[in-house]
Amino acid sequence: QVQLVQSGGEMKKPGASVRVSCKASGYIFTIFGITWVRQAPGQGLEWMGWISSDDGNTNYAQKFQGRVTMTTDTSTSTAYMDLRSLRSDDTAVYYCARGKFGLGPSHFFGIDVWGQGTTVTVSS
Amino acid sequence: DMQMTQSPSFLSASVGDTVTITCRASERISRWLAWYQQRPGKAPNLLIYKASILESGVPSRFSGSGSGTEFTLTISSLQPDDFATYYCQQYNSYPWTFGQGTKVEIK
């Protein structure tokens, strides 16, 4: 079945970096892009950006520009999200999810498959 | 950034009730809106995209409507599985933004 499996939880100190991985299976990886959405404890959903799995094209939310890098490895059908200069308010569950990105809203059909989430805790 | 405002933030309902959640955009977004359901401790689940198109496998008691700046999600005949938090998401412009969520609880 189609699934995205994320790496395990991380505890980091302020100023450090974190890498979260997201391994896809059950579909042709390069047909869909990967987006990253985070959720702080007890809060709503916040979109961070997306990456096209075929050509590596990215679109980051301005809030994260300069601190986030999204990449994919098509040989292993895995996406990665690196977040640098971590702060306490980066403490959240980070989700990877699948969708059709980069072709405009008429070609977007929702974020239809989500990973299980990775808890990143930033604390001194 | 586009602001998405859901109302109510919380509602209490009984099994079998029909409930409606409203999502308002700060600017016109045509019909570029999706709805998600999130149960506690779980990832969100896509219900509807393009304001009214039901995702495959989603029960027909869920329906969406609206265009421009005002949208609604209606759940007919609430089932125990439907008690969850619901989010709208606009994808008309970047950054994509979500509403703050509407928590549906059992009365």
How does strand A45-51 pair with strand A33-39? antiparallel
A112 vs B contacts (CB less than 8 Å): 46, 55
List the single range of A6-10, A107-111, B25-29 with lowest mean pLDDT.
Answer: A107-111
Q: What percent of chain B has pLDDT over 90?
A: 98
Searching chain A, which residue's CA lies closest to the CA of residue B88? A45
Min CA distance, B23 vs chain A (Å)? 14
Task: Say whether pLDDT at B74 is over 90.
Answer: yes
Average pLDDT over every residue of A108-115: 95
Q: Are B43 and A61 an interchain contact pair (Cβ–Cβ within 8 Å)?
A: no
User: What does the alpha-carbon distance between residue A118 and residue A20 come to, in Å, rounded to a whole number?
Assistant: 7
B44 vs A contacts (CB less than 8 Å): 37, 45, 95, 97, 111, 114
Tell me if chain A has a CB within 8 Å of the CB of B9.
no
Q: What is the pLDDT of residues B13-30, one digit of tens each?
A: 999 999 999 999 999 999
Q: Are B100 and A44 an interchain contact pair (Cβ–Cβ within 8 Å)?
A: yes
Task: Say whether pLDDT at A25 is over 90.
Answer: yes
Searching chain B, which residue's CA lies closest to the CA of residue A60? B95
* DSSP-assigned letter for residue A8: P
For tokens 């980091």, what's the residue? Answer: A12
Tell me if chain A has a CB within 8 Å of the CB of B95.
yes
pLDDT at A103: 85
Region of B98 please: left (phi>0), alpha (psi -120 to 50) or beta.
beta
Task: Say whether pLDDT at A94 is over 90.
Answer: yes
Task: Say whether pLDDT at B107 is over 90.
Answer: no
User: What does the alpha-carbon distance between residue B29 and residue B92 come to, in Å, rounded to a whole number?
Assistant: 5
CA proximity to A68, closest of A109, A116, A20? A20
Per-residue CA distances from A16 to A52, A80, A86, A95 (Å): 27, 17, 5, 20
A110 vs B contacts (CB less than 8 Å): 34, 46, 48-49, 55
* DSSP-assigned letter for residue B6: E
Task: Say whether pLDDT at A102 is over 90.
Answer: no
pLDDT at B37: 98
User: What does the alpha-carbon distance between residue A111 and residue B18 come to, in Å, rounded to a whole number?
Assistant: 26
Nearest Cβ partner for A111 among B30, B32, B46: B46
Min CA distance, A14 vs chain B (Å)? 25
